[in-house]
Each structure stands twice: as C-alpha cells, then as structure tokens.
C-alpha cells in the first residue's frame, strides 16, 4: 500500500486554519518524515550537493529560522520518535516539534515572507510526508481529564 503524502496544505485545510481565531497564541505540532535523498528540482543548485532529506531540512531551518524568530516564533518542544505505542505501525516520524506563535498572523507573516518562500524549497525537497496540526490552548487540571 502506498503511503499518503502530505507536503503542503490543501486549499480547504488552509481556509479552515484562516477561519480560526487570529488573536490568540497557537501551537503547531510538526511531524516529519524525510526522503532518504533530498528531492530538489533538476535546476536547483543543491542538487549537486546530493543532500539527504535530513540535511536539506537542516538547511531549511537555518534559512527560515531568522524569519521564524522575527515573527515571534519559538520551538517549545522537540523530540525524536522512539516507538508507536498507539497508532499504525507503518507511521514513523524522523523529527517532531511544537512551534509556538504569538498568533496566527505571525504564522501567516512568516509563510508569506519573500525570504521564507526561497527557504521553503529546502523543506519541500527534504520532506517525504508530514503533518502540521494547529492546537489552541485550553485551561484545565494537570491531569488527563
């Protein structure tokens, strides 16, 4: 069975994101699975480097990081998958992190920035499939309830 590939948002999912409250902090869970070898367009200069997907994603982080920080973004958690405890065994993630933004406007500012648009080619070359899930904050007890 072929793996479902998710690299960029659909128009519908992006419209749903934009319809949510814009003036509250948001947390974006990123789950990433990398290509063994980065998949750059044939005319891209990084093709000559023969980078792995992980290396191309590191380049994306390096070039997009200043924009992410400028809009107020921070990484509040980063982890490496060790085992699927509940869920499909065939879903494995090479990297995961939660990026926090002061509001959805900051996220929108980042992804529409001209320099970010240049940097994102490295993400697109690096990532085989991904999930990007927006979470709002909620009050509650420090238990599972």
What's the CATH number where 50 sits?
Answer: 3.30.70.100
What number of other Cβ atoms are within 10 A of residue 115's Cβ?
Answer: 13
List CB contacts of 91: < 8 A, sequence separation 6 or more. Answer: 84
Structure tokens at 131: 């999930």
Do the Cβ atoms of 20 and 104 come closer than 8 Å? yes
- State pTM to two decimals: 0.90
pLDDT at 93: 96
Residue 93: inside a domain: yes
Q: Note the pLDDT tens digit of each residue in 43-76.
A: 888 777 789 999 999 999 999 999 999 999 999 9
Q: How many domains does the chain have?
A: 1
User: In which domain, by residue range, is 40 found?
Assistant: 24-135
> CA 145 to CA 142: how far, in whole Å?
8
Phi-psi region of 17 (alpha: psi -120 to 50; beta: other; left: phi over 0): alpha
Residue 34: inside a domain: yes
């Amino acid at each position: 069975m072929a793996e479902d590939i998710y690299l960029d948002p659909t128009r519908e999912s992006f419209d749903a994101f934009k319809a949510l409250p814009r003036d509250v902090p948001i947390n974006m869970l990123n789950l990433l699975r990398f290509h063994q070898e980065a998949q750059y367009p044939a005319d891209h200069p990084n093709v000559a480097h023969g980078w792995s997907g992980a290396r191309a994603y590191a380049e994306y982080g390096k070039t997009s990081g200043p924009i992410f920080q400028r809009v107020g973004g921070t990484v509040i958690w980063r982890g490496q998958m060790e085992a699927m405890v509940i869920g499909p065994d065939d879903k494995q993630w090479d990297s995961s992190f939660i990026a926090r933004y002061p509001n959805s406007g900051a996220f929108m500012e980042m992804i529409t920035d001209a320099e970010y648009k240049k940097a994102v080619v490295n993400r697109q070359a690096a990532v085989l499939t991904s999930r990007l899930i927006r979470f709002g904050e909620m009050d509650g007890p420090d238990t599972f309830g």
